[in-house]
Amino acid sequence: MSFVVVLCTAAQSRAQQTAPRPPEFAALTQEEVARILRMSPLPSLPLDPSNRFAEDDAVAELGHALFFETRLSPSGISCATCHDPQRYFTDSEVLARGVGVSRRNAPTVVDSARRRWIGWDGKFDSLWSQALAPIEHPDEMGGHRRTLLQVIRDTPHHRKQFEQAFGPFPEALARSTESGDPLELAHTATADESREIDQTTALVLKAFGAYQRRIQSTRTPLDRFVSALKAQPEGDLEALSASARRGLALFVSRAGCWQCHRGASFTDEEFHALGLVGANGRVPDDPAREAAVAFLKRNPFNVSGEFSDARDSPKAAMVRGLKEGGEQFGQFRTPPLRGVAFTAPYMHDGRFASLSDVVRFYDTLEGASPSGHHGEMVLEPLGLTDPERADLVAFLESLSPDLTILRESPWWRDPRGSSDRTEPTQGSRPQNPRVTSPEVPDQSQR
């Protein structure tokens, strides 16, 4: 046995020696090349023990239907209004627009099941627990958990899906009891009814979670390139242009991006303050991670709470152990970068219209608070040349999965048929072109 292992290792290291190295990597150290090798492949999807229905397709079907359901909101806003599959599950807006205007940019939900913390500030510790927030937020959907359950109960199609997934709809929430409909907002719920409402809501949230787990990206040009570096048969060194290869070399070396955007998802899953100044040039004014931790620890739907299926898990312990405090002020989660070319505009407040704008920011740090009193001081102006900036952008664009493959997935479709129905009933939307071709959209600003 060990003999075989030795042989394999020898074969492997021989492969690494004979594996081609493009000329753009000539100046890279071994450690810098190792950073590149860690970028691919994407590991298998992490399990979510806090959601015992995570792998259940019947539950995911219910979540799929509800993701596109406009009646969860009195204004006809669905999840898909802001997370439109035609736009890589974003809305192309600077700040998300639902009933009102949100404070933040809508990120994609593609690959969100890979994140340790959910949201720009990591306010949620599971994908499923996040779903209640937009439903009840007055600026997003402006709905209520009772209305959510009412729509399911009173829509035969959803009710059937619910019962296939979870068994009979709770009797305590049936339409007419002596005191009226327990799901009417005007109804004063008894303690028993409230508990039943929250328990049933948690089930439905887990359906949203199960559905969104299935929204996943596919292989990118970078993956084919890294396969070639590992001398694997499906590899292709030409999958990245010379410009993208130079950008990749910069990314793992002098530009320092790898310090936070690392591994196969291009994120350390941690939080950093880049010191982006607020509106009117004020010091950064969004408490971000500081407020998020305070919320998360008290959220009854968190991983250590009564509705979680993994209250004794390491993750639950991690949540209980999170420290609250001001040093986390202004910190945002390092966003993943796979598919980033499809999700303009950028940053938590959508302040940058294009990837070139983002790269220009890192290059000059213009728009960063100079004294960043909570800043981390990792960032320094890079002093790149124009071609180097273009190289970094070319590299970021090589992280785009093949949309033609993704569109084959049933989970990327509006289950009601025509995808036009994901458009909101009022207000105008299109600013960026829809993601309808496998080409990277919106290069107009470069």
- Interacting residue ranges for ligand HEC, rule: CB under 6 A: 77, 79, 81-83, 96, 98, 102, 104, 106-107, 109, 112, 115, 118-121, 127, 130-131, 134-135, 140-141, 208, 212, 255-257, 259-261, 272, 274, 276, 332, 334-335, 337, 340, 343, 346-348, 355, 358-359, 362, 378-379, 392, 396
Instruction: Name the minimum Å distance from CB 365 to ligand HEC.
Output: 10
- How far, CA to CA in Å, does 335 sit from each of 92, 99, 443? 17, 26, 21
Instruction: Please say whether the beta carbons of 136 and 145 come within 8 A.
Output: yes
Instruction: Name the minimum Å distance from CB 360 to ligand HEC.
Output: 10
Instruction: Name the minimum Å distance from CB 259 to ligand HEC.
Output: 5
Dihedral-angle region of residue 103 (phi above 0 means left; psi in -120 to 50 means alpha; beta otherwise):
alpha
Closest to 221 in 3D by CA, of 426, 27, 345, 405: 405
Instruction: Please say whether the beta carbons of 173 and 193 come within 8 A.
Output: yes
Instruction: Name the minimum Å distance from CB 160 to ligand HEC.
Output: 20
CA–CA gap between residue 406 and residue 215 (Å, rounded): 9
Instruction: Name the minimum Å distance from CB 236 to ligand HEC.
Output: 23
Is the CB of 77 or the CB of 183 nearer to ligand HEC? 77
Instruction: Name the minimum Å distance from CB 67 to ligand HEC.
Output: 6
Largest CA distance in the chain: 79
- How far, CA to CA in Å, does 289 sit from each of 26, 299, 372, 419? 40, 15, 16, 35
Is the CB of 235 or the CB of 257 nearer to ligand HEC? 257
101 backbone dihedrals φ, ψ, rounded to 5°:
-105, 125
CA–CA gap between residue 334 and residue 339 (Å, rounded): 15
Instruction: Please say whether the beta carbons of 405 and 221 come within 8 A.
Output: no
Instruction: Name the minimum Å distance from CB 234 to ligand HEC.
Output: 27
Is the CB of 208 or the CB of 412 nearer to ligand HEC? 208
For the chain, the helix, strand and coil percentages under 3-state DSSP, each to the nearest 5: 45, 5, 55
Is the CB of 104 or the CB of 235 nearer to ligand HEC? 104
Is the CB of 213 or the CB of 224 nearer to ligand HEC? 213
Instruction: Judge residue 191's burial from the number of C-beta atoms within 10 Å of its C-beta, 0-12 exposed, 13-18 middle, 19 or more buried.
Output: exposed
Instruction: Name the minimum Å distance from CB 186 to ligand HEC.
Output: 23
Contacts of 11 (CB under 8 A, 6+ apart): none
Question: CA 100: distance to chain centroid?
Answer: 22
Task: Work out whether strand 271-272 and strand 332-333 pair parallel, antiparallel, or are unpaired.
Answer: antiparallel
Is the CB of 225 or the CB of 362 nearer to ligand HEC? 362
Is the CB of 82 or the CB of 316 nearer to ligand HEC? 82
Number of alpha helices (DSSP H) and beta strands (DSSP E) in the chain: 16, 2
Instruction: Name the minimum Å distance from CB 235 to ligand HEC.
Output: 24
Is the CB of 19 or the CB of 277 nearer to ligand HEC? 277
Is the CB of 177 or the CB of 415 nearer to ligand HEC? 415
Q: Which helix (H) or strand (E) holds 306?
A: none
